[in-house]
Structure 1
Amino acid sequence: MHWILLRGLTRERAHWGDFPALLRDRFPDHHFHAVDLPGTGVHYRDTSPASVAGIREKVCEQVSHIPKPFSLLALSMGGMVALDWAQNVPEGEIQNLILINTSSGFSPTWQRMRPGAWPRVLRLLGRKELFDRERDILRLTCNREVPLSLAKQWYSIQRQRPVSTRNAMNQMAAAARYMPGQKRPLPDALLLASRGDRIVHWRCSAALEERWQWTLKLHPDAGHDLPLDEPEWIIQQIRSWLPR
């Protein structure tokens, strides 16, 4: 089975850290492909579309060489792209869908971006010193201690493949406007959310659970970047859910 991994707003495949390797180790019969959204990673010089549908189309072009069907595992804004993908392909092309701390237009604005996060996000946008900005992003998105080595790694990523202000704004606009279709794309999907998420309220995942009777699992205290905070917990949830 081929899995496509999608990261969130202004983040690229390198921001997964060791998580893809962990998945490959725990699921040796599966193939995991971390893919960059347009305007990030290897595509940082490209212009990001300002709609989730446009981003999804670019991502689909990138994976055209990978055998179908796909399974999708996606975090935050990547989850919007994955959900849009599942709703806009022929039946059977997407086998499994795992969405982590994502949101959609089915939830109110104050849940999609928690009020307490707005001042910190605005301050981050104004930070001129790149290392301080990347370290503060980690401190906002993670609830576990952020080692200096990780902050240095994220600083290096941004130095090598910087996300432009234009692309960041285009992605933010796409995320803010995203409204899924009404039709349930799959009989079941796995929704993973963190009660301790200081950016996106876990009730955004609960809204998808209630609408489509999907499977929701909540972590009690991890942050928005659940794959960094609690990768083993994610692995446990996938192991329990996949044989359904």
Structure 2
Amino acid sequence: MKTWVLLRGLMRESRHWGDFIPKLQAAYPNDRLITIDWPGNGLLHQEKSLIHIRDMVGHIRQTLINQQCSGPFYVLAISLGAMAAVAWANAFPKEIRACILINTSLRPFNPFYHRLRLQSLPALIRLLFSDTAGKEIIILELTSTSQPQAALAQWIQFQKQFPVSRANILRQLAAAMLYRANKPDVPLLLLSGAKDQLVSPACSQTLAEKWQVPCWVHTQAGHDLPLDDGDWVLNKLALYLTSLH
């Protein structure tokens, strides 16, 4: 039995994995899946978001202790969550069996204008001053090529139930921009959406080249790869897990 730790990104909570979670559980019925909300998001929306990635690592580890989980863990993480996964792997490599990183970007390997695509800046600024529905419409437009309206309706309800404050959005953005990474000594796989409007796909490609790790690219997907094509992600996971044994 494997234990998976799933980490989402900026402004997202565990429920934003959507139907990918039941699909992953169906693919690995004997495995345990742990989803973690960041302070400021989801169940923890009333808490102050962490401004340093190292503190997010502490949050992950304490959450796992509280849930009586022991590693080594298989970590599946997207965007900001993938930064925290890298920091965790750097600090505590023995706790991690493998990291699968989706559409991440890391300083100093990727320039700031790739880590946050300049054309997305006007939308992000609008997001900070939009109402609940407006925020989620912008996020869906930035992160998905398929833009399923059923997901949008769910996201609006999530945000109404557990709103993420403007201050916490800015704190999470700061954490992402400030973090500086090193290559961790754990098995790594990079997954990337070629039509990502938020983070340049060049970020994953650069990391793959510099770190000498595999990178698989979905030619049609955006930033939220599990939303745009969860089955493709599962297929790549299965191929990668086979290569680990």
Which residue does the alignment assign to 1:176?
Answer: 177
Matches within 5 A, 1:49-60: 49-60=50-61
Q: Residue 135 of structure 1 aligns with which residue?
A: 137
Aligned equivalent of 1:81, options 69, 80, 84: 84
Task: Give the partner amino acid of 2:126.
Answer: R
Residue 72 of structure 2 is matched in structure 1 by 69
Q: 2:140 touches 2:147 (CA, 8 Å); kept in 1?
A: no
Aligned partner of 2:211 in structure 1 is 212
Q: Distance in 2 between matches of 1:145 and 1:40?
A: 22
Deviation string, structure 1 residues 2-33 (Cα, Å, up to 9, x no partner): 01000000110011111111100011232111
1:146 corresponds to which residue? Answer: 148
CA contact (8 A) 1:72 1:94 kept: yes
Q: Aligned AA for 2:28?
A: F
Verify the 8 A CA contact 1:9 1:77 in the aligned structure 2.
Answer: yes
Distance apart, 1:42 and its partner CA: 1.2
Q: Distance in 2 between matches of 1:179 and 1:185?
A: 16
Conservation of the 8 A alpha-carbon contact between 1:38 and 1:59: no
Using structure 2 for the length normalisation, give the TM-score.
Answer: 0.94
Alpha-carbon distance in structure 2 between the residues aligned to 1:59 and 1:43: 13
**What SS is found at the alignment partner of 1:9?**
coil
- Classify the secondary structure of the residue corresponding to 1:92: helix
Match of 1:238?
A: 237
**Could you tell me which residue of structure 1 aligns to residue 167 of structure 2?**
166
Identity %: 36
* Cα distance in 2 for residues equivalent to 1:2 and 1:96: 11
CA distance in 2, matches of 1:62, 1:126: 32
Q: Which residue of 1 aligns with 2:19?
A: 18
State how many pairs are aligned. 239
- Take 2:127 and 2:48, find their aligned partners in 1: how far apart are those partners? 22
Where structure 1 has 5 or more consecutive residues not aligned to the other structure, the ranges are none
Alignment correspondent of 1:34: 35
The match for 1:6 is 7
Moved more, 220-229 or 61-70: 61-70
Structure 1 residue 59 displacement after superposition: 1.8
Question: Would you tell me which structure has more helix in proportion to its own residues?
Answer: 2
Runs of 5+ unmatched residues, structure 2:
none
Deviation at 1:243, TM superposition (A): 1.2
CA–CA distance in structure 2, aligned partners of residues 131 and 198 of structure 1: 20
Could you list the runs of 4 or more consecutive aligned residues of structure 1 that deviate by over 4 angstroms after TM superposition? none
Q: In structure 2, how many angstroms separate the alpha carbons of the residues matched to 1:155 and 1:223?
A: 20
Aligned counterparts of 2:43 and 2:60: Cα–Cα separation in 1: 12
CA–CA distance in 2 between the matches of 1:51 and 1:145? 31
How far apart in 1 are the matches of 2:210 and 2:142? 29
The TM-score with structure 1 as length reference comes to: 0.94
Q: Give the deviation of 1:184 after TM superposition.
A: 3.3
2:106 is equivalent to residue 104 of structure 1: yes
Contact 1:184 1:212 in 2 (8 A): no
* Aligned mates of 1:145, 1:20 — CA distance in 2: 19
1:47 aligned residue: 48
CA offsets 1:79-129 (integer angstroms, 9 cap, x no match): 00001000001x4310010000011101000100111111111111121x2
Alignment root-mean-square deviation, CA: 1.2
Cα distance in 2 for residues equivalent to 1:62 and 1:141: 27
Query: Which residue type is aligned with residue 44 of structure 1?
Result: H
2:46 corresponds to which letter in structure 1?
R
